[in-house]
């Protein structure tokens, strides 16, 4: 499978509007971080993890014309704000030449029940059963699927098994995903042992890590993230969801242990 980091920034993105720190003014492309999202490609299927407000830009940059499944970690705006731009995807998958009689495919998405409910509320006009009058123009064609809160693995794309991994992010639960030897978890502060136990024997762990220094109420700081890394010992760790406080990529990467990396937008991994 191939993992592409589409965005590795925290909710503000980097650079932050109006900030003149050295990171926000850096010319290094690795210091320019769009909102957090990744693309996983397995057996010809495109699986998108989160769809934030930079989705359109990310899709254009990666030439992403089809999405076979969409996994949502949680319904904060920096992870769902691009949903409206999904409306072009079914058309793009046919390069805008829709054969006669073909029904456009819906994009199946997967989230915990509160995540799906929040999405249905925020983007009510996309869901015919929402009780609102249906908008007659082009709409995102979506098909919600609920992730079982007991942690039962579920299948996407007709046979790819996904194990949900739950963690606590402020007052809500965020969902991480384990697929084979890869796990992807962002936006959390604490994780129970039974969920952490799902993260052993990994080739790649992708972990949300906000910054080095100040503690945050609902995100991991570097030392907290390293505690998880040192417990489950993945072969490689890639950090995402970073703020400008992470420092210049070049300098901060030098301070990392050999098998820990600051991910950057556009980075691709074969797993």
C-alpha to C-alpha distance for 52 and 78, rounded to whole angstroms: 5
- Name which of 24 and 141 has its Cβ closer to Zn ion: 24
The 10 Å Cβ neighbour count of residue 259 is 12
The reply on whether position 84 binds Zn ion by CB under 5 A is no
The reply on whether position 211 binds Zn ion by CB under 5 A is no
The reply on whether position 78 binds Zn ion by CB under 5 A is yes
The reply on whether position 98 binds Zn ion by CB under 5 A is no
Q: How many residues does the chain have?
A: 271
- Minimum CB separation from Zn ion for residue 141, in Å? 25
- Name which of 83 and 160 has its Cβ closer to Zn ion: 83
C-alpha to C-alpha distance for 40 and 46, rounded to whole angstroms: 6
Coil, helix or strand at residue 85: helix
- Minimum CB separation from Zn ion for residue 215, in Å? 16
- Within residues 221-250, the interface with Zn ion by CB under 5 A covers 244
- Minimum CB separation from Zn ion for residue 258, in Å? 28
The reply on whether position 219 binds Zn ion by CB under 5 A is no
- Minimum CB separation from Zn ion for residue 19, in Å? 3
The reply on whether position 31 binds Zn ion by CB under 5 A is no
Q: Identify the residue whose tokens are 């805008």.
A: 96
- Name which of 5 and 90 has its Cβ closer to Zn ion: 5
- Name which of 81 and 90 has its Cβ closer to Zn ion: 81
- Per CB under 5 A, the segment of 9-17, 37-45, 143-151, 228-236 that binds Zn ion is 9-17
Long-range contacts of the stretch 84-90 (C-beta < 8 A, 24+): 84/123, 84/140, 85/51, 85/55, 85/56, 85/59, 85/140, 86/51, 86/55, 86/140, 86/141, 86/142, 87/138, 87/139, 87/140, 87/141, 88/138, 89/59, 89/65, 89/140, 90/141
Assigned token pair, 22: 């050295």
The reply on whether position 54 binds Zn ion by CB under 5 A is no
Out of 1, 21, 232, 267, name the contact with Zn ion by CB under 5 A.
21
The reply on whether position 92 binds Zn ion by CB under 5 A is no
C-alpha to C-alpha distance for 147 and 165, rounded to whole angstroms: 11
The reply on whether position 19 binds Zn ion by CB under 5 A is yes
The reply on whether position 76 binds Zn ion by CB under 5 A is yes
Assigned token pair, 156: 């996407």
- Name which of 42 and 110 has its Cβ closer to Zn ion: 110
Out of 50, 68, 187, 265, name the contact with Zn ion by CB under 5 A.
187
Coil, helix or strand at residue 80: helix
Buried b or exposed e, range 210-241, using 16+ CB within 10 angstroms: bbeeeeeebbbbbebbbebbeebebebbbbbb
- Name which of 19 and 255 has its Cβ closer to Zn ion: 19
Where on the chain is the footprint of Zn ion (CB under 5 A)?
11, 19, 21, 24, 76, 78, 187, 244
């Amino acid at each position: 499978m191939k993992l592409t980091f589409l965005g590795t920034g925290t909710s503000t993105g980097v650079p932050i509007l109006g900030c003149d720190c050295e990171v926000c003014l850096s010319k290094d492309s690795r210091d320019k971080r769009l909102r957090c999202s990744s693309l996983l490609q397995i057996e010809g299927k495109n699986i998108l993890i989160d769809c934030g407000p930079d989705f359109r830009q990310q899709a254009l940059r990666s030439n992403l014309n089809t999405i076979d499944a969409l996994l949502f970690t949680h319904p904060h705006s920096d992870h769902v704000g691009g949903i409206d731009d999904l409306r072009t995807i079914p058309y793009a998958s046919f390069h805008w030449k829709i054969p006669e009689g073909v029904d456009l495919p819906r994009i199946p998405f997967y989230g915990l029940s509160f995540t799906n409910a929040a999405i249905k509320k925020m983007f009510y006009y996309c869901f015919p059963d929402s009780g609102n009058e249906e908008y007659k123009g082009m709409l995102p064609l979506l098909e919600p699927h609920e992730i079982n809160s007991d942690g039962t693995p579920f299948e996407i794309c007709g046979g790819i098994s996904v194990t949900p991994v739950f963690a606590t992010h402020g007052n809500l639960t965020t969902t991480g995903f384990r697929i084979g030897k890869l796990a992807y978890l962002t936006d959390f502060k604490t994780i129970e042992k039974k969920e952490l136990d799902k993260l052993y024997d990994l080739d790649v762990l992708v972990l949300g890590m906000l910054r080095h220094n100040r503690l945050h109420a609902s995100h991991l700081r570097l030392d907290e993230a390293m505690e998880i890394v040192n417990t489950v010992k993945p072969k490689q760790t890639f950090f995402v969801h970073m703020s400008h406080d992470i420092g210049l990529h070049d300098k901060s990467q030098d301070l990392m242990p050999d098998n820990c990396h600051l991910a950057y937008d556009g980075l691709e991994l074969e797993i």
